[in-house]
A and B are shown apart, each in its own frame.
Chain A
Amino acid sequence: MRRATVAERSAVPVLVLVTLFVLVVVPILMVVYTAFRDAVPFSGSESNFTLSNFGALFEEKTVSAAINTVIVTIGGTLMATAIGCILAWLAARTDIPFKPLVHVVGILPLFISMLAATVTWALLGAGNSAYLNIILADLGAPFRIEMRSLAGFIFVEGLYHVPYPFLLVYAALSLITSDIEEAAAVHGANQFQTTMKIIFPVVLPAILGSMILNAVMMVENIAVPQILGGPVGLETLSIRVYYLMNRIPSSPTQASAVALLLAAIVFALIYAQNFVLKGRDYRTISGKGAQQKVMSLGNWRYVAAGFVVLYFTVAIVLPMLALLLGALRANAYIANTAAMFDVAQLSSDRLLSITSDSEVINGLKNSLVVAFVTCVFGTGFFFILAYIVHRTRIPGRKVIEYIAMMPLAIPATLLAMGVLWAWIGSPIPVYGTIYIIILSFLPRFMPQAFRALSSSVMQVHEDLENAALLCGATRAQTVWKVFLPLVRGGVVSAAFLLFVLSLREVGGALFLYTTNTRVLSIVVFESYENGSWDFVAGVSLLYTVLLGGITLLGLKWLRPSL
Chain B
Amino acid sequence: MVRVIDAMSIRIKGLKKKFGSFVAVHGVDIEVPEGKMLVLLGPSGCGKTTTMRCIAGLEAPTEGIIELGGQPVFDSQRRINVPVNHRNVGMVFQSYAIWPHMTVTENVAFPLKMQKLPTAEVEERVAEILRIVGLEQFRDRGATSLSGGQMQRVALARSLVMRPAVLLFDEPLSNLDARLRDHLRVELRELQTRFNITSVFVTHDQSEALSLADQIAVMNTGRVLQADDPVTIYQNPHSSVVADFIGYRNIFPGAVRQGGDDGILFALDESSFELTSVHPPPPGEGGIFACVRPEDFEIEAHRPDQPVKPNTFIGEVTSASFMGSYTQYRVRSTTGQVIDVFHNRAPLDLPPGSPARLHVAPKSVLLLPMRSAS
Interface residues of A (CB under 8 A from B): 1, 3, 461, 463-464, 466-475, 477, 481-482, 485-486
Contact = CB atoms under 8 A, between A and B. Distances in A.
B104 interface: no
Contacts of B93: 463, 466-467
B318 interface: no
A513 to B, nearest CB: 43
B97 A472 contact: no
Nearest to A468: B110
Contacts of B111: 471-472
A470 B81 contact: no
A471 B58 contact: no
A485 B99 CA distance: 10
B85 interface: yes
17 contacts: A1-B80, A463-B94, A463-B97, A466-B84, A466-B93, A467-B97, A469-B57, A469-B85, A470-B85, A470-B89, A471-B85, A471-B110, A472-B114, A472-B115, A472-B162, A473-B85, A473-B110
B179 interface: no
Given A3-B79, A485-B101, A470 B84 contact: yes
Contacts of B159: 470
Which 3 A-B pairs have CB atoms at the shortest separation, nearest pair first?
A471-B111, A463-B97, A472-B114
B100 interface: yes
B162 A1 contact: no
A481 B111 CA distance: 12
B8 to A, nearest CB: 15
B349 to A, nearest CB: 37
Nearest to A484: B101
A475 B114 CA distance: 12
Contacts of B88: 472
B200 to A, nearest CB: 13
Given A471-B110, A471-B158, A466 B86 contact: no
Contacts of A471: 85, 110-111, 114, 158, 162
Nearest to A472: B114
B99 A466 contact: no
A420 B162 CA distance: 57
B85 A466 contact: no
Nearest to B155: A467
B242 interface: no
B99 A470 contact: no
B56 A470 contact: yes
Contacts of A461: 95, 97
Contacts of B96: 463
A466 B114 contact: no
Residue among A461, A463, A470 with the highest chain B CB neighbour number at 10 A: A470
B275 interface: no
Interface string B7-19: 0000000000000
Nearest to B86: A1
A1 B85 contact: no
Interface of B: 56-58, 79-82, 84-91, 93-97, 99-101, 110-111, 114-115, 155, 158-159, 162
A1 to B, nearest CB: 5
A108 to B, nearest CB: 33
A456 to B, nearest CB: 14
Contacts of A474: 85
A509 to B, nearest CB: 39
Nearest to B19: A393
Contacts of A472: 85-86, 88, 111, 114-115, 162
Contacts of A3: 79-81
A485 B110 CA distance: 15
Contacts of A464: 97, 99
Contacts of B81: 3
Nearest to A478: B85
Nearest to A464: B97
Contacts of A469: 57-58, 84-85
Given A472-B115, A474-B85, A486-B99, A466 B79 contact: no
A461 B100 CA distance: 11
Contacts of B79: 3
Contacts of A486: 99-101
A66 B89 CA distance: 64
B90 A470 contact: yes
A473 B114 contact: yes
Contact of A466 (B82, B97, B100, B158): B97
Contacts of B97: 461, 463-464, 466-467
A474 B110 CA distance: 12
Contacts of A475: 85
Given A470-B91, A471-B111, 15 more contacts: A463-B97, A464-B99, A466-B56, A467-B155, A469-B57, A469-B58, A470-B87, A470-B89, A471-B158, A472-B85, A472-B114, A473-B85, A474-B85, A485-B101, A486-B99
B52 to A, nearest CB: 12
A1 B57 CA distance: 13
A419 to B, nearest CB: 38
A505 B114 CA distance: 46
Q: Which one of B84, B95, B115 has the highest number of Cβ atoms from chain A below 10 Å of its Cβ?
A: B84
B126 to A, nearest CB: 13
A466 B58 CA distance: 7
Contacts of B94: 463
Nearest to A466: B58
A67 B79 CA distance: 64
B124 to A, nearest CB: 18
A463 B115 CA distance: 20
Nearest to B106: A481
B159 to A, nearest CB: 8
A351 B158 CA distance: 64
A467 B115 contact: no
A431 to B, nearest CB: 45
A466 B91 contact: yes
A391 to B, nearest CB: 13
A3 B101 CA distance: 32
Contacts of B162: 471-472
Nearest to A475: B85
B233 to A, nearest CB: 29
Contacts of A482: 99
B171 to A, nearest CB: 12
Contacts of A468: 99, 110
A473 B88 CA distance: 11
A485 B82 CA distance: 27
A467 B90 CA distance: 8
B89 A1 contact: no
A288 to B, nearest CB: 15
A429 to B, nearest CB: 44
Contacts of B84: 466, 469-470
Contacts of B110: 468, 471, 473, 481
Nearest to A474: B85
A464 B144 CA distance: 13
A14 B90 CA distance: 34
A393 to B, nearest CB: 9
Contacts of B80: 1, 3
Nearest to B93: A463
Contacts of B158: 467, 471
Nearest to A473: B114
B95 A463 contact: yes
Contact of A1 (B56, B82, B114, B155): B82
Contacts of A1: 80, 82, 86
B118 to A, nearest CB: 16
A148 to B, nearest CB: 55
B241 to A, nearest CB: 30
Nearest to B73: A1
A472 B158 CA distance: 12
A459 to B, nearest CB: 11
A188 B89 CA distance: 56
A476 to B, nearest CB: 11
A457 to B, nearest CB: 16
B322 to A, nearest CB: 30
Nearest to B88: A472
